[in-house]
Amino acid sequence: MKLEIAAKPPFSLHSVIHSHGWARLAPFNLDDETGEFSYVLELENQRVLKLIIEEIPDGVSVEIEDPISKVEANEISEAVAWMLGLDQDFSEFYELARGESKLEHIEREAQGRILRSPTLFEDTIKTILTTNTAWSGTIRMANTLVTQFGEAIPGDDTAKAFPNPDTIAESDEKTLREETRLGYRSSYILNLAREVNSGTFDLETLKDSDLPVEKVRDSLLSIKGVGNYAVANLLMLLGHYSYLTIDSWALKMVSHEWYGGEPVTPTEVEQAFEKWGDWKGLAYWLWDWSYDGE
């Protein structure tokens, strides 16, 4: 079974996949040898399917091994469209960026879309898993979480979906610490799963909320484990670019780019991108640093 989903041009699946590290976090999978890009999705009816996503002339195709119903096809199409930002329009940003040599590549390569998970719950957990750890640690923790708590495709225990809030909520901090090895993040993730599962916190409504970005930010900041860096990352995934994902890497890059290697503060990083207004988060993210950080 193969679905075809249109994307607003210009579009590049390669640019979405490489927009950040998410393609390396389970249940995404990017095969370095074949180039195959896939995601294991659990549908609302709890059916678990592997989606193989490829670029086609006007968008993407999604290959599913087994037959699916029309309702399931619609759910998959909506999920993939969200994950790849197929409806997103960056023409205003492209126009603004013309003439800036450090951003001259973005329109040519159709950059701007940032790969995201089907749910904000999954992206929030993954963002928490990026904090205060090496990237290899983030990959390990996400993989263990999926392996330990995710629903498998029938007959294939190696392919599992991202766990639902209820599955994690039923766990406990000891298990998350000692078996999933999430460290001090265990309590953050357990609290979030329990709040979402109980309905205390309706996280998913923030995906298409009419609230001002400041209100969305406040709501996300109320999550334990989500601070300034994490909230900026989540806002960027939601399509709000007025905050910068200032982490230790950003400080190093801006220091090298404009301050001759001298230490800089988060305020100075903000100032460096102030001219890009509501697009500054994306300008920072897509900036050609051409400095490898070594």
Partner DNA sequence: GGTAGACCTGGACGC
Partner DNA sequence: GCGTCCAGGTCTACC
Which residues in this chain contact DNA in the complex, by CB under 7 A?
20-21, 130-137, 140, 177-178, 181-185, 223-231, 233, 245, 247-249
User: With respect to DNA, which residue has the nearer C-beta, 153 or 283?
Assistant: 283
User: With respect to DNA, which residue has the nearer C-beta, 229 or 279?
Assistant: 229
User: With respect to DNA, which residue has the nearer C-beta, 203 or 226?
Assistant: 226
User: With respect to DNA, which residue has the nearer C-beta, 77 or 143?
Assistant: 143
Nearest distance from C-beta of residue 16 to DNA, angstroms:
15
Nearest distance from C-beta of residue 195 to DNA, angstroms:
13
User: For residue 286, what are the CA distances in angstroms to 33, 50, 121, 141, 270?
Assistant: 26, 30, 25, 27, 15
User: With respect to DNA, which residue has the nearer C-beta, 50 or 240?
Assistant: 240
Nearest distance from C-beta of residue 256 to DNA, angstroms:
14
User: With respect to DNA, which residue has the nearer C-beta, 51 or 253?
Assistant: 253
> For 72, how many CA atoms within 13 A lie in the half-sphere containing its CB?
18
Angle between helices 213-221 and 228-237 (to 10 degrees): 130
Nearest distance from C-beta of residue 144 to DNA, angstroms:
9
Nearest distance from C-beta of residue 132 to DNA, angstroms:
4
User: For residue 256, what are the CA distances in angstroms to 102, 151, 172, 267, 289?
Assistant: 14, 45, 44, 16, 9
Nearest distance from C-beta of residue 90 to DNA, angstroms:
19
Rg of the chain over Cα atoms, rounded to whole angstroms, equals: 19
Compute the distance between CA of residue 87 and CA of residue 259 in angstroms, rounded to an integer: 38
